[in-house]
Structure formats: C-alpha cells, structure tokens
Structure 1
Amino acid sequence: MNSLLCVLWVLLAFAVETAVGRRYEAIFSLGDSHTDTGNGNVVFAEHSLDNPAAALPYGMTFFGHSTGRNSNGRLIIDFIAEDLGLPFVPPFLAYNGSFRQGANFAVAAAFARNASFYSQIPNVGQFALNTSLSVQMQWFDSIKPSLCNSAQAECMGFFHKSLFLMGEFGVNDYSFAVFGMNISEIRLFVPDVIKAISLAAEGIIRQGAKTVVVPGIPPMGCDPPNLAMFPSDDPDDYDARTGCLKDFNDLSVYHNSLLQEAVKNVQKKYPNARVIYADFFTTVMDIIESPDKFGFIRDVLRCCCGGGGKYNFNISAGCGMPGSTVCEDPSAYLFCQSIESNYSSIFSFGDSYTDTGNLAILYGGPASADFLVSKPPYGMTFFGARSPSPPASLATNQSFNQGVNFATGGATALDRTFFVDRGFKAISPFNVSISFQLGWFDAMKPWFCSSLQECQEFFAKALFFVGELGWNDYAVMLLAGTSIDAVRPRVPEIVGRICAATEELIKEGGETVVVSGIAPLGCAPANIALMANQTGGEVEPETGCLKNLNLLSKDHNLQLRRALVRLRATYPGVRVIYADFYAPIRDFSVSPARYGFNGTDGVLSASCGGGGGKNNFDLAALCGMPGVSAGDPSAHVSWDGVHLTEAANHFIADGWLRGPYAHPPILSTPY
C-alpha cells in the first residue's frame, strides 16, 4: 500500500504538462489495481470472491468510505483527472450514467495477456479472472455507440479530444506466474506481454486517439508482498541501497526497456499521435532511496495497512482482514471519524440556488406583491412556508452564532456596474454581487470575534460555501441577445472573480471552502424555452439539453477547477473543495428513473409552471402567479424552470457531502 501512495508522483508532472495548451474532454483508462476505481467490486462479487478494497480501511483518507480503489485514498488517475479539470473517471462496470467525460475499464488483477494463460497456476489460478486487456478493449468498443454514431469521422473527432491511459499492465502477469515459474522462465514471455500492450495502443490510435499514455511497471522487488513471500537467505539477492529484491527489479527493468522500445515504434508508425511512456519505476526508486526527501521518513518498504512482520504483510491477514492494522495517521483517519460535527458554523455566498431569504427581504418582505418566491407554492414540500437555515444575513432578530447566508437571488460574480454600463437590462435591481456579499460578511465580523487572532480561530472552524456564481452573469448577457461566442471570452474574468472571493475568505481564516461550479445551462427548462433559437437549437442526444449552452457551462467549470488547483497550491493547508453542479444534473438527465424522476418530462420540464408543452415554462405564467399549478415536485428535477426541486437538491447535497459530486467530498478527511 505504501508504494501505491508513493507513485502518485509519477504522472502528476505529465498531467500538468498536458493541461497547458491542450484541452481534453474525456479520459479513458485501461489497467489493473493501480487504476481500478470500482470495477473490481463488480467482478469479484460476480465470482463470489472477497475484494478487500470494497471495505474500510481502503478509502479512509480521502473518501471516508471504500470505493473499490486499492489505496487509502485517491489513485494516480484521480489526480490526473482533477488536474485536468475533469470529474473522477467512472468505473465502467459500476456506473449507470453518461461516459461522455470518460470511462475507466481497469480491473484489479487484470492481465495484459489472456487470463487462460494463468488459470492453471497452483494456488492463484482461481483468481485469474477474464478481465484482461483484450476484454477491456471489448468493453471500450461496447460504449462507443453512446459516445458517437456509426460515422467514423464523429468517433475519430471525439477521441481526438480524449486522453487515453493504457495501463499499467504486466505486474499481474508476472505476479501470478511467479507461483508456478522462476524468474528466468517468466522473462521468456515478457515480449508477449509487451506485444499485447502495444497492439492495444495501436488499436486505440486507429479509433481516433491522439494522446495515449503507456506506463511502465514499478520495481516489483520493492513491493512488500514480494519481499515477504519470496525472501532469500543470500544477502547478495538484495540491493544494498534499498533492500529490494534484485531479480524482481531486474524483471521490471527488462519489461520497461522492451516497453519503451515498443512505444517508440508505435510513435513512428503513427506520427500524428502522441504516444507517451510514463515512468513508474524511476519515481518509486527515487522515493525508496531518499524517503525523507519526499516526506517518507522511515520504513518505506513496509505496508501502511497489513498483518505484521518485517514488511507488515501477511497473506492470511491482508489489509482489511481480521488481524491487520493500519499505520497511525491521525490527521487522515481519526479526524475523519468526527469531521461531521467538527464545523461550528456555516457561511454561504451565492445566488438564488442558495438564497434562504435575502432577496425576499430586499423586495420588502414576504408580503411583497412583486416577489413571486414569497408566494405559494414555493416552500410547499418541507416548510409550508420558507424557514431559512442558516439564517439570511439581512434578517432581523436572528442569532448568527452558527453561521450566516449572504447568498441572494440574482447575484453575479461580476459587479452590477459591469452590466449597467453596457446596457444589459435583465440585471437585478439590487447590487448583490459577490463583492457586496463579502462586504456584508466583513460588516458582521464583530458578531463573531473582536481581534484578528480570534477571527482567524473562529473562521478556521467554519465551513464556507462560495456557490454557483456565474449562471446569472451568463444569463443576463444571453437574454440580451449576446451570442455564446461573444459571452465565452468573459469566462476567465468571471472565474477570476470567484477565485478572488475564495482567496479573501481564506485570508480571513477559512480552512474549508467549498466552491461550486454551475449547473448545465442547457438543461434548464427556462433556457430551453427561451434560448433554443438563439443558441442554434442543437440538442445533446443523450440528455435532450441544448448543446451549446452546456458547452459554455463546461468551459466555465473547467476553468474554475483549474483555477482552484492553483489556489490549493498557494494555500496548501486549506481544503478548497470543488462541488460539481454539472455532473449530477447530467446524470439525472441520462438516467432519470434511477433517481426517481419521471423520464424526460421529469428532467426537462418544470414542475411548477403554466407553459405546458415539453418544458412547461412561460414568462406569462410563472410559478407563483395566479392559476399556476405545481405538479409533483418529487418526480421533477426542475422546480420552476430555473431552480431545482427539493428532491434534486437532496441528491446533489448528498453527493457533495459524501461523493461523488465533490472533489474531495466535504465529509472526507482533509488533505
């Protein structure tokens, strides 16, 4: 397990490099347990085999629960996806949503060669499951119809913009074989393993892949299971510098040398593709030779989680089994046990998706005739009438000791003057932009603390939300007739303002800040009804949403995620959490019945509205107007054409708290 934590360094540099000047819209991954994000759970269950990675302590550090990943937290592929501004790559066998942003076909214990080569090996043959590289390639072929039609050009175009990870493969081929062969015999079939990998890479390229990453294998002689199960009485069999087994490491070197040559040959054969060899071996060796340089102080060859002995590995007491122990890591494990009650207050900033009463107060209170949200059927499902929590910042006679909500309907990331000066009409009559909300926050600080140190300590225990800003900025411009192409250049400015606000909260002492992206603009029934002609009218076949509006949302969210990565690097002691608003609504749209929604009508049609038709939205018959009915909110995603029902909000909140819609989940352990 220790080596799995270490090798995260291997591809991070590559991920940063590829993010610069190159935009990937999806990640497709094939491999084994180094990359498996949940497929193993399904495969092992189908064969009635126990999968240790399906239970704690696997997943304890980041997710707070097991995910099927063979690590205490994230894998290399997770870090790459995060750095590229993409969601975690979903496991093909354990996910029912859309694979438009990628799919992970990797399975723990997968081989490069066909599994039948290993099924007769004593003791381990029963674990030689049919999940080899060729099978994973078949799975990849099976999802292509959901990504592109049968026209070759469309598929080629889609995969041009995708990143492909081919492996690591080979470790299981050799690890299984060692139970029935010696190292010299195993070396004889290494070329066959390399051939399987290179042929698969070529197959991916022929289908349109422009970037294929092919990792080598790590130093097998440094792997704690190999050190524990194949000890030698001869000191010369061990590397004096590292304590690793020479023969196993020589096998890794041989594999990697042949693989590098094969990668060069594939690159020559397909000069228009980028075929990248990713070095697993050197990075792990650097860490083992100089552990303190990378923050690993001692016992670098011991498993963190295992059943005792010199290398803390015991095959009868593997990680997660009775008799195994987990290394001490209070900041990662014990803190997770109490994180749910560890925040003393919540401070929220945002727009109408988060507003719990501020805009109603600005309009003159609940009795205002001009404010539809103050009227039934708004609030009907839970409150009967609205009851904000945390309290709206503009409310009177409220205690704010446990938090304040500054979010206000109509709020923008850019200041109101930006829109007024340019003649945009559909802007809120109130100046409620994020900069003004921060001003309200600053004015309220005396409620909570009286000195800089006291404020820093108070806000360090608080949970901050910077919510879904940007939607209104784009809507104001688009409703004025501005084209999407003219709106898109404003994205960096809007994202920059959101990140600047986030940084201000960090400087005030905030140690946990959740920053949400925006929902898919093209899936809101109001936008479909009002903007279809303006945006070209093209719809996504898998969702029915307006494609060009959704591309604008994706662009915003991608730039925001990249900006948050930079912010994390600037403030390494702070948890900056990206909350994904786009993915859950996309998932609702692709598989509505899975979440209890009523098919297409439940996703693209407003629950409360008087417009009828497929979107049930009409500006002359808005929710809250006389004679407008609410329908069944529990069967709908959209409440009024723009905002979400309680049912949809509940799914999203749970996904932010526990995953998979926040990176990292709010209730996971800190970094």
Structure 2
Amino acid sequence: MDCLRSIRKNRWKGPRKLKKITVLVVVTSFLLIVSFADTSDDCRFPAIYNFGDSNSDTGSVSATFGRVTLPNGRTFFGKPSGRYSDGRLLIDFIAQKLELPFLSAYLDALQPYFRNGANFAAAGSTIQPFDVKLLEAGFNPLTLNIQLSQYEQLKDRTNELYNQAKTSKIKSNLPIPEDLSKALYTLDIGQNDLHFFLTTMKVDQVKPSIPPIINQFALAIEKLYQEGARKFWIHNTGPIGCLPVLVIAYPPKPGDADQNGCIKSFNEIAQEFNKQLKDRVSELRTQFEDALLLYVDIYSAKYTLISEANKYGFVSPIEYCCGDHDINCWNTAIVNATNAVCKDASKYISWDSVHYSEAANHWIANRIVDGSFSDPSIPLNKACRKPL
C-alpha cells in the first residue's frame, strides 16, 4: 500500500525527467549531425598529399629505380601502373571516395598532375633515416625525411611558379597554393622499419628500437603542421606476422603461431608499435588544437579480413597469387613466368606475399572510410571539418 501511494505521488516525475532527457538527446544528436554534415560546398578536400612505403606507392620507385612491370596492374589498369599490386591500393580507394583523381607520384616526370595533390610514398621506404645497413638489407633511400623534403620543394616551387605564371595553362597542373592548408595529409609507413628489425635482430631486441622510430614519425607530423597541414589521416602498421613472405622465411615455432598461421611474436611487435604511435598521436592532438589527427587502425581492419578470409570468399591468408618460392613478383623476372601467377587474384588477400591484392585493398577501404576504425570515429568524407 505504501508502495502504491509512492507511485501515485511521483507518477509524473518520471515522464518529466524523461522529456528533459529526450530533448537533450535530440539536441545533442542534432548538433553532432550538423557538426559532421556532408555538404558539397564546405566539406570537400581539394587535394591529398600522401607519404609512405609500397603500400601506397603509385609510381615513385617505378619511375626512379626501374619500371614495375606486368602482371602488376593487370586487374584494374590492364598495364603497369607503378603499383605493387594487381590493381588499386588503399590510397586509390581513398582518392575515389573523396571524388579526386588518382595521385601522381612526385618523382614521375611524365605527365605529372598535382592540382589535386601528390604522392611521395616509395616502396622500400622507412621512417628511420637511411644508412648502410638499410641499403644492404634492400631498402631504398627515399625515407620519410626525404619525402618531407620533396613536399617542401613542391610547395616552394608551386608558390614561385604560380606567381610567375602568365597563363592559366601553366597553372592547370600545379597545386593551388591556398589549397595546401585545406588538403588531407595521409601517412602509411612503418612496416619496413619493423621488417628490418625483425629480420636483423632477435624479437626481444626489437621493442627498445621502437620509441626512436615513433619520435621520427611524430617529428614528420610536426613538420607538416608547421608547413600548414591541418588534417591528418594516419595509418598504423598492419599485422606483419601474417605476411606470407615472413611466414615462409621464418616459420613460427611451436606456440608462436596463431589460429590463422601468422607469427604471433611478430604481430605483437606491430601491436606495440601501434600502441606507441596512438599514444603519440593523442599527445600531438593536445599540442595542435586547431588540427584534426585521425588515427586509423589498419591493423584491426586487415586482421579482421585475415581471420574471416573464407567468409568473404578468399583463400587461406598465407597463400598468395603472384610468384613462388623461386620468383618474386616484384622483380622483372616474373614477366616471362606466367605460370607463377594465379588466374583469379580476387580470391587472394596477398598479391605477391608482401603486398595486398586489389580485392583485399577494396575490402579494407570499405571498412575504414566510414570512420569505424578511426580515433576519433569520423568518416573520411566528413573529416574536412574539425568537429565542434
């Protein structure tokens, strides 16, 4: 009876509180929608400037050290495209999502087009400065520092040429100077640094080598910020222990293989690298309050695909389409070795034991562009404005 009286006495309080809560939720949701509204007038990236390694190289190494030959490029382009894949890379799908043309490699002198950005990524590049040991291990000198120098030169030359140009035709292939601060700056690098460490030292020696690399990565972001960059799309590194080239060369010891056949200890190093990178990006956010730094968890996106390969129509993630134990698909020798190339690359996650196939890149791109793997969780096509 006392309980009934209490209910009657307070029967209107609940609904009133509920009304207030409902109004608050609706208003908050409305503000969030307005904050991330996708309008063609004020929420569009005019350009992309990309820095990285072979995962996003669209022609730098091909133009500099020798053309990347067929069968690379066969699926989408139908010809060599400068990419270490049968088709498009993540950076290509990102450009398409933003309704921008594919990025021209900065080092490709033939028909360059930089109005909508440029790609400085180069296969074999590292975050750490280049030295003799890296050269002996097969990596190239186009490190992240060099890529930043190339960007600075592009920026300086653009300002000079724009001021000197007397016709619109001369300007048509150049970046628009005021667009540089409005562009998206993407970074996808670090895999080669870990590859170098894991293949030249014991696994337990690698962890102490990570902090200096993260420092170099952070300095690159700081330098780009000082040059006017304000919107960053930063990829962490993928599950390196799942690359077929490493699984074959360094078969996991008992207890060191996961359910997908990947090398657990190698993936743990990648996860440690990613943890430190995420922490540093978080610190940079407090330092650069007027910038938007999106940390994209490529590792989780790729590992999800690897773990559910059969579900999405792929063969075992340790298999690869192009090359075999004697022929590496990234070498020119593969041109005449057609028997070493699979018929349907779309069934493979790995194209050549190191790089992902177009089908895998497409799957991953579809998962990351909506912001579900990003911190903060902002869709790519809404990232041109910092949230309120």
Structure 1 position 595, deviation (Å)? 2.5
Q: Is the 8 A contact 2:256 2:264 kept in 1?
A: yes
Q: Distance in 2 between matches of 1:345 and 1:579?
A: 19
Deviation string, structure 1 residues 548-570 (Cα, Å, up to 9, x no partner):
01101111111111111111111
Q: Distance in 2 between matches of 1:497 and 1:549?
A: 21
User: Identity rate of aligned residues, in percent?
Assistant: 26
1:399 is matched by which residue type in structure 2?
Y
1:426 is matched by which residue type in structure 2?
A
Q: Distance in 1 between matches of 2:196 and 2:114?
A: 32
Partner of 2:322: 608
Partner of 1:621: 327
Deviation string, structure 1 residues 311-357 (Cα, Å, up to 9, x no partner):
x9xxxxxx8xxxxxx35975x043x3348961111100000000001
Q: 1:464 aligned to 164, 182, 185, which one? A: 185
Partner of 2:245: 526
Q: Which has more radius of gyration? A: 1
Q: Distance in 2 between matches of 1:631 and 1:660?
A: 33
Q: Is the 8 A contact 2:319 2:350 kept in 1?
A: yes
Structure 1 stretches lacking a partner, 5+ long:
1-177, 187-220, 231-299, 307-311, 313-318, 320-325, 367-373, 611-617
2:144 is matched by which residue type in structure 1?
I
Deviation string, structure 1 residues 582-618 (Cα, Å, up to 9, x no partner):
11221112211333313xx2x11111122xxxxxxx2
Structure 1 position 474, deviation (Å)? 1.8
1:627-638 correspondence to structure 2 within 5 Å? 627=337, 628-638=340-350
Partner of 2:45: 343
Q: 1:360 aligned to 62, 65, 78, which one? A: 62
Q: Is the 8 A contact 1:426 1:479 kept in 2?
A: no
Q: Per the alignment, do residues 636 and 305 of structure 1 end up closer, same or farther by CA in structure 2, a change over 3 Å counting?
A: same
Structure 2 residue 126 is matched with structure 1 residue 412? yes
Structure 2 residue 274 is matched with structure 1 residue 557? yes
Q: Is the 8 A contact 1:455 1:508 kept in 2?
A: no
Partner of 1:568: 285
Q: Per the alignment, do residues 653 and 340 of structure 1 end up closer, same or farther by CA in structure 2, a change over 3 Å counting?
A: farther
Deviation string, structure 1 residues 527-568 (Cα, Å, up to 9, x no partner):
1001225x7771112x22111011011111111111111111
Q: Is the 8 A contact 1:516 1:578 kept in 2?
A: yes
Structure 1 position 438, deviation (Å)? 0.4
The DSSP-based 3-state class of the residue aligned with 1:644 is coil
Q: Is the 8 A contact 1:401 1:448 kept in 2?
A: no
Partner of 1:436: 146
Q: Distance in 2 between matches of 1:546 and 1:328?
A: 42
Q: Distance in 1 between matches of 2:369 and 2:153?
A: 29
Structure number with greater CO (CA < 8 Å, separation at least 6) is 2
Q: Is the 8 A contact 2:158 2:177 kept in 1?
A: no
Q: Distance in 2 between matches of 1:328 and 1:391?
A: 35
Calculate the TM-score normalised by the size of structure 1: 0.47
Structure 2 residue 354 is matched with structure 1 residue 647? no
Q: Distance in 2 between matches of 1:621 and 1:403?
A: 35
Q: Distance in 1 between matches of 2:311 and 2:368?
A: 18
The DSSP-based 3-state class of the residue aligned with 1:640 is coil
1:633 is matched by which residue type in structure 2?
A
Structure 2 residue 103 is matched with structure 1 residue 390? yes
The DSSP-based 3-state class of the residue aligned with 1:465 is strand
Partner of 2:95: none
The DSSP-based 3-state class of the residue aligned with 2:314 is coil
Number of residue equivalences: 341
The DSSP-based 3-state class of the residue aligned with 1:400 is coil
Structure 1 position 486, deviation (Å)? 1.1
The DSSP-based 3-state class of the residue aligned with 1:658 is coil
**RMSD between aligned residues:** 3.2
Q: Distance in 1 between matches of 2:243 and 2:271?
A: 15
Q: Distance in 1 between matches of 2:273 and 2:319?
A: 24
1:395-544 correspondence to structure 2 within 5 Å? 395-396=108-109, 397-417=111-131, 420=132, 425-428=136-139, 430-449=140-159, 457-467=178-188, 469-480=189-200, 482-532=201-251, 538-541=256-259, 543-544=260-261
The DSSP-based 3-state class of the residue aligned with 1:608 is coil
Q: Is the 8 A contact 2:57 2:105 kept in 1?
A: yes
1:594 is matched by which residue type in structure 2?
K
Q: Is the 8 A contact 1:537 1:546 kept in 2?
A: no
Structure 1 position 184, deviation (Å)? 9.0
Deviation string, structure 1 residues 168-221 (Cα, Å, up to 9, x no partner):
xxxxxxxxxx999629999xxxxxxxxxxxxxxxxxxxxxxxxxxxxxxxxxx8
1:246-257 correspondence to structure 2 within 5 Å? none
Structure 1 position 460, deviation (Å)? 2.1
Q: Per the alignment, do residues 536 and 464 of structure 1 end up closer, same or farther by CA in structure 2, a change over 3 Å counting?
A: farther
Q: Distance in 2 between matches of 1:525 and 1:507?
A: 39
Q: Distance in 2 between matches of 1:660 and 1:353?
A: 21
Structure 1 position 401, deviation (Å)? 1.2
Q: Per the alignment, do residues 301 and 179 of structure 1 end up closer, same or farther by CA in structure 2, a change over 3 Å counting?
A: farther
Partner of 1:656: 368
Q: Is the 8 A contact 1:517 1:560 kept in 2?
A: yes
Partner of 1:585: 302
Q: Is the 8 A contact 2:72 2:81 kept in 1?
A: no
1:522 is matched by which residue type in structure 2?
G
Q: 1:376 aligned to 49, 66, 70, which one? A: 70
Deviation string, structure 1 residues 1-53 (Cα, Å, up to 9, x no partner):
xxxxxxxxxxxxxxxxxxxxxxxxxxxxxxxxxxxxxxxxxxxxxxxxxxxxx
Structure 2 stretches lacking a partner, 5+ long:
83-101, 162-174
Structure 1 position 572, deviation (Å)? 1.7
Q: Is the 8 A contact 1:345 1:403 kept in 2?
A: yes
The DSSP-based 3-state class of the residue aligned with 1:496 is helix
Structure 1 position 402, deviation (Å)? 0.9
Q: Distance in 2 between matches of 1:531 and 1:339?
A: 52
Q: Distance in 2 between matches of 1:423 and 1:359?
A: 16
TM superposition outliers: structure 1 runs of 4+ over 6 Å: 178-181, 183-186
1:435 is matched by which residue type in structure 2?
N
1:202-351 correspondence to structure 2 within 5 Å? 226-227=16-17, 303=24, 305=26, 326=30, 330=34, 332-334=35-37, 336-338=38-40, 342-351=44-53
